Amino acid sequence: MMNLFKKLLNKSNSLDIKNNEIITPLAGKIVNLETVSDPLFAQQIMGKTIAIKTNKISDIVNAPITGKIKALYPTGHAFGIESDSGLEVLVHIGIDTVNAKGKGFKILEHNQGERVKAGTPMVKVDFGKLSKTYDMLVFVVITKNIASKVEFKSLTEVEDNQIISI
């Protein structure tokens, strides 16, 4: 098991991500925000938002940017990272999954305040188990944008660690 995580961590070190580029935290289909049931995400109240639906039963959710972990919820359902240039990105896994109280989520050896590289595995998620109760969209939200310069590309499907910002 440790070899798998070492392999994943080594993979993330080989990514050539520029300072304000955002990558996908996992592979899947991009979901139209108009179809999202939670107005917080659908109306992009917290910031520019993209929603990803994975078809995997279990998956690792990766860091979308390089920077410092500003928030890491003990339930594993969300984390936020701030880049050196001040770009803040929140990854929120599922709708109302805070109510799962951590069941179905495993934080992968990270702590708030720690620096991570884009593509670093952050949380292992049992999408199969959680999708029986929750809408398991994965949201990437730009909560603080440096001069509103970062936008999401218009995409329909994404791969692991694919650049999604322009």
Q: Annotated catalytic sites, by residue? A: 92
Q: Are strands 58-62 and 67-72 parallel, antiparallel or unpaired?
A: unpaired
Provide the b/e sequence for 99-133 (b: ≥16 CB within 10 Å): ebeeebbebbebeeeeebbbbbbbbbbbbeebeee
CA distance 154 to 126: 28
Which of 85, 77, 95, 70 lies closest to 25, judged by CA? 77
CA distance 61 to 98: 16
